[in-house]
Amino acid sequence: MLPHQSLYHLAKKYGPMMSIRLGVVPTVVVSSPQAAEIFLKTHDAVFASRPRLQVLELIYNGKRGIAFTELGSYWRSVRKICNMTIFTASKFESFASTRKEVLAHFIESLKEAASAKEVVNISKKIGALNEEMTLRMVLGNVKKYQGFNLKELIDELTHIAGAFNLADVVPFLGAFDLQDDFVGTLLKELNQPMNNDGDIMDRNSIKAITIDMMVGALDTSAATLEWALSELLRHPRVLLKLQQELESIVGNKRMVEENDLPKLEYLDMVVKEIFRLHPVAPLLVPRESVEDIIIDGCYIPKQSRVLVNIWAMGRDPNTWSNNAEEFFPERFIDSNIDLHGHDFELIPFGAGRRLCPGKKLGLITVKLILAQLVHCFNWELPSEMSPNELDMTENFGVSLPRKINLCVKPTYRM
């Protein structure tokens, strides 16, 4: 049983806010929206830090990006710089043509497979698509590095236990076109003071931020998309209804554009339902308390860790009724729940000060790719397999992907 699953069953017995000890570290596990709001909103300032993990010190070469940095002036400065330069609506929109180009090539490759009546390993295909999109947005010109397996490197980063220098495996300067990509934007801040505490935006800081962006973009979107296709294959009614919405809004003579996405209400429900049942960070990123605090009569000492089990929260019948385990997008009809960290029933991107800064880009990527896959193709499992036989086992790691790659047979329908 995986960690989030074990903690889910423990919470059923001991309640939505339980204290355990991981080694010598006092740890609080939160498993309900009400408890999550206490930690991530009411007392967000107390629990906004991150624990110092040895493997991260080694991977990041002593520096931190945004996701794993402890609370302090360095993190505040990095967050401010990134929010003002790279995590902006205009910066995300500037890559719309890149996303469109890469996705068009992806669809063409699937059309060829469909024409040949091939069974496709869609997990690997989606992984390669996200890899190219991420490289293009984060690092710029990637023609010299075709065939370089970035995803394999990112997966390895989470397991290595030794000193790491990104420049040894991904040439950092000179080889890339640094005009408009994220790294090029950050390089404009190189060697500039970030605050009054002496922190400088040096090369290691930029490397750490780059790792954060690549890890966040690669695994999360790919895992969400393969779970989405898995659920649609198991629920053909939902797949057909989504295709009907796409035909109504987009028609059958063109591909889905990004400006179509706000009009696709059922697509939004499907994506929310995927995030509810298959959050890619089931325990979010651990938080750490910066001071002693008492919550509901429970003493929580400084430097306690907090794990928010959003996987368990997505299965809570008190929130989602007795069909909480069922894939049923219609539960979001007339619902005001959004994914921006305000509604604690559904917080796949976290909440509070530590809300994922790449949330908007992640949502655009997932919705656009999923809409394109459903609009352009019909999907079926290999002939010897029925939807009920599809293995839905999770694989705990950087994110929460399928344990077994999803293999499907596409049929072009445009």
Distance CA 376, CA 255 (A): 8
Query: Positive or negative CA dihedral for 286, 319, 402, 406?
Result: negative
- On whether the CB atoms of residues 136 and 143 are closer than 8 A, the answer is no
* Residue whose tokens read 């009054």: 196
Q: Where does residue 321 fall: left (phi above 0), alpha (psi -120 to 50 degrees), or beta otherwise?
A: left
Please state, for a pLDDT cut of 70, what percent of the chain lies above it: 82
Please report how the helices 359-376 and 265-277 are oriented relative to each other, as an axis angle in degrees rounded to 10. 110
pLDDT at residue 217 is higher than 90: no
Contact 78, 65 (CB under 8 A): yes
- The residue ranking higher by pLDDT, 88 or 260, is 260
pLDDT higher than 80, residue 307: yes
CA angle centred on 262, ends 259 and 264, rounded to 5°: 105
H or E segment and range at residue 372:
helix 359-376
72-86, 167-181, 372-386: the lowest-pLDDT one: 167-181
Share of the chain above pLDDT 90, in %: 57
Mean pLDDT throughout 56-82?
75
Mean pLDDT, residues 280-306 taken together: 94
**340-361: per-residue pLDDT in tens?**
999 999 999 999 999 988 888 8
Cβ 137 vs Cβ 102: under 8 Å: no
Kind and range of the H or E run holding 306: strand 305-308
Q: What is the pLDDT confidence band of residue 140, given thresholds at 50, 70 and 90?
A: low
Question: What confidence tens digit (pLDDT) does each residue in 225-263 have?
Answer: 999 999 999 999 999 999 999 999 999 999 999 999 999
* Residue bearing the bigger pLDDT, 264 or 77: 264
pLDDT number for residue 201: 64
Give pLDDT tens digits for 146-193.
555 655 665 555 444 223 333 332 333 333 333 344 445 555 555 566
Give me the helices (H) in 146-295, please.
150-157, 166-169, 182-187, 203-234, 236-249, 265-277
Interatomic CA distance for residues 157 and 159, integer angstroms: 5
Average pLDDT of the residues of the chain: 84
Of 258 and 60, the structure prediction assigns the larger pLDDT to 258
Q: Which residues pair with 378 in a beta bridge?
A: 411
CATH fourth-level superfamily of 3-412: Cytochrome P450 (1.10.630.10)
With beta carbons less than 8 A apart as the criterion, state whether 168 and 63 touch: no
For 399, phi then psi, to 5°, come to -130, -155
Neighbouring CB atoms inside 10 A of 191's CB total: 9
**What counts of helices (H) and strands (E) characterise the chain?**
16, 9
Specify the pLDDT at position 257: 95
Cα radius of gyration (the chain): 21
Confidence band, pLDDT 50/70/90 cuts, at residue 202: confident
| Residue 303 banded pLDDT, cuts 50, 70, 90 | very high
Report DSSP letters for 83-144, one per residue: HHHTSSHHHHHHTHHHHHHHHHHHHHHHHHHHHTT--EEHHHHHHHHHHHHHHHHHH---GG
- Which of residues 301 and 163 earns the better pLDDT score? 301
The beta-strand segments (E) located in 102-202 are 120-121
Evaluated on CA atoms 3, 315, 400, 36, the torsion sign reads negative
376 labelled ligand-binding:
no
Look at 316 and 174; give whichever has higher pLDDT: 316
* Whole-angstrom distance, CA of residue 133 vs CA of residue 131: 6
Report the distance separating Cα 369 and Cα 103, nearest Å. Answer: 7
Give the C-alpha separation, 74 to 195, whole Å: 8
pLDDT band at 327 (very low <50, low <70, confident <90, very high): very high
Confidence of residue 130 (pLDDT cuts 50, 70, 90): confident
Q: How confident is the model at residue 273 (pLDDT cuts 50, 70, 90)?
A: very high
